[in-house]
Structure 1
Amino acid sequence: MEIRAKRFKELTTQELYNVLQLRSEVFVVEQDCVYQDLDGKDQKAIHIIGKKMDKVVAYTRIFKPWDYFETAAIGRVVVKEEERKHKYGHTIMLASINYLEEEWGVDKITLSAQTYLLRFYENLGFEKKGNEYLEDGIPHIKMVRTKS
């Protein structure tokens, strides 16, 4: 999988379409969750895009401190269902963490994790903070990773 980081204005129309299609495929159809994906935050984000044979198979969006949370943040973590066996979720998360820590020098990253993925994020160094809450009808928990 080839990974690229792009600002919103650097995305081609086709890349944007493919990213939004993948997010809809997983978050709306697969997870059966009706929610407003186009939340006005994509323009502030850096888009971490994983492609395989020119198809978007993994994706996250990352934010500088105060653009989403008070710390840097990772969101919209998604991997195409048939590609999950390749551990692309882990790969795209490591690329996102590396970008935040190396390019921006951040030492703290926050995310809102779907609760069933708690162990996945813990294996990447995130720790749960606070209590579980519902976000778009799905149980989530705030998680934070502090660079050691």
Structure 2
Amino acid sequence: MKIEVKNFGELSTKELYDVLQLRSEVFVVEQDCVYQDIDGKDERALHIMGWEDGNLVAYARCFQAGDYFDEASIGRVLVRENYRKMGYGHAITKASIEAIKTNYKADKIKISAQVYLVIFYESHGFKTIGDRYMEDGIPHIAMLRV
């Protein structure tokens, strides 16, 4: 998988379309979650994209401290269904952590993780903080990496 990191202004129209299509495919259709994906925050984000044979197969978006949470953050982490179990989730998460360190000079990163992914994120140095909560009908928990 080839990973690219771009800010919003660097995204081509095709790349933006691919990002929005994949986010809709995974979060809205697959997870049956009706929510406002286009939330006005993409313009401030770094977009971490994983490509395989010209197809977007993994994605995450990152924010500097203060743009989403008080800490730098990673969100919208996903891997296209037929590319799971290939380590791409780990690769896109590692690339996101590195993008935050490189671009924002930050070590403290906060995420809002779906509860079933806690062990996955713990393997990347995140620790749960606070209580579980519902976000868009899906159980989540805040996690912090310092």
Q: Which amino acid aligns with 1:141?
A: I
- Alpha-carbon distance in structure 2 between the residues aligned to 1:79 and 1:94: 14
The equivalent residue for 2:116 is 116
CA distance in 2 between counterparts of 1:38 and 1:74 reads 16
Tell me how large the CA RMSD over aligned residues is.
0.7
- Larger mean Cα displacement after TM superposition, 100-109 or 48-57: 100-109
- Residues 54-108 of structure 1 deviation map (CA, whole Å, 9 limit, x = unaligned): 1100000000000100010000001000001211000000000011123322020
Residue identity over aligned pairs, in percent, reads 58
* Aligned twin of 2:131: 131
Structure 2 equivalent of residue 15 of structure 1: 15
The 2-side partners of 1:107 and 1:18 are apart by 29
What count of residue pairs does the alignment treat as equivalent?
146
TM-score by length of 1: 0.97
TM-aligned CA deviation for residue 140 of structure 1: 0.3
Q: Given the two structures, how large is their TM-score scaled by the length of structure 2? A: 0.98
Specify the alignment match of 2:76 in structure 1: 76
Question: One-letter code of the match for 1:125?
Answer: G
Tell me which moved more, 98-107 or 129-138: 98-107
Following the alignment from structure 1 to structure 2, what is the Cα–Cα distance between the partners of residues 85 and 73?
24
SS of the equivalent of 2:77 reads: strand
Aligned partner of 1:86 in structure 2 is: 86
Is 2:56 aligned against 1:56?
yes
- Letter paired with 2:80: K
Q: Which residue of 2 aligns with 1:2?
A: 2
Give the whole-Å Cα distance in 2 for the aligned partners of 1:133 and 1:88.
27
SS at match of 1:58: strand
Counterpart-to-counterpart distance in 2, 1:91 and 1:7: 19
Q: Which amino acid aligns with 1:13?
A: T
Q: Distance in 2 between matches of 1:7 and 1:100?
A: 12
Superposed CA deviations along residues 33-59 of structure 1, whole A, max 9, x for unmatched, are 111100110000000000001110000
Residue type matched to 2:40 in 1?
Answer: G
